[in-house]
Amino acid sequence: MAGARGNARLALVCGGVVAAMVGLAFASVPFYRAFCQATGFNGAVRRASYAPKALAGHTVTVSFDTNVRGLSWTFTPVQRSQDVTLGAPKLAFFRATNTGSTAVTGRALFNVTPEAAGPYFSKLECFCFKNQTIKPGETVEFPVVYFVDPRYAADRDAVSAGPITLSYTFFPAVTGPRVATAPALKPAPG
């Protein structure tokens, strides 16, 4: 009887360990994403609530790259690059068109290269923070408000790596369709 009780306890402990490991596996993705956004690790972009004071005379070129995976969309930057004064907020636009016959909800993921620039690149507002639904044949412009921290100028590794590239990839939304309320703008002409 004592052996059966010990086996049952061991099975219960093993089951608890397995359940905890599965839970940690699912929780690791959001924890890793939060860590990367907070630190800029692995080229992740940080979300900011305000821009610091601009550093006159110090600029960097920011280029834009767009990709689509698994959606019937075209997705392009309205401008290919911008010269940015360090610390000054900058506004960029991206245009997406649903070329399919049904409404589709997507979500953009982003990164910054070179990786050394990630800790200095912050976004104040971005369409990537929400799911975006586009109706068939509809074209929508999405704004991004961002800045490059003035401390970027003091990091020789980051500055010597050359221009910064902000890259977005739209994927099908995992959580189901939700109509975007912000920051989508009016449909683009033509």
Tokens of residue 84, six digits = 């940015």
- In angstroms, the CA 187 to CA 70 distance is 22
Handedness of CA 44, 46, 47, 52 (dihedral sign): negative
In the chain, the number of structural domains is 2
Predicted pLDDT of residue 19: 72
In this structure, the answer to whether residues 150 and 84 fall within a common structural domain is: yes
**Which tens digit of pLDDT belongs to each residue from 93-131?**
999 999 999 999 999 999 999 999 999 999 999 998 899
Tell me how far apart the alpha carbons of residues 180 and 171 are, in angstroms, rounded to a whole number: 15
Quick one: 54 and 88 in the same domain? yes
CATH number at residue 133: 2.60.370.10
Residues 57 and 78 in one domain: yes
Residue range 52-73, pLDDT digits in tens: 676 677 899 999 999 999 999 9
- Per-residue pLDDT reduced to its tens digit, 127-183: 988 999 999 999 999 999 999 999 998 888 887 888 999 999 999 997 644 444 444
pLDDT digits 0-9 by tens, 7-49: 788 778 777 777 766 666 655 545 545 555 554 444 445 555 5
H or E segment to which residue 33 belongs: helix 2-39
Spatial distance between the Cα atoms of 14 and 6, rounded to a whole number of angstroms: 12
In this structure, the answer to whether residues 132 and 62 fall within a common structural domain is: yes
- State the pLDDT at residue 1: 59
pTM over 0.75: no
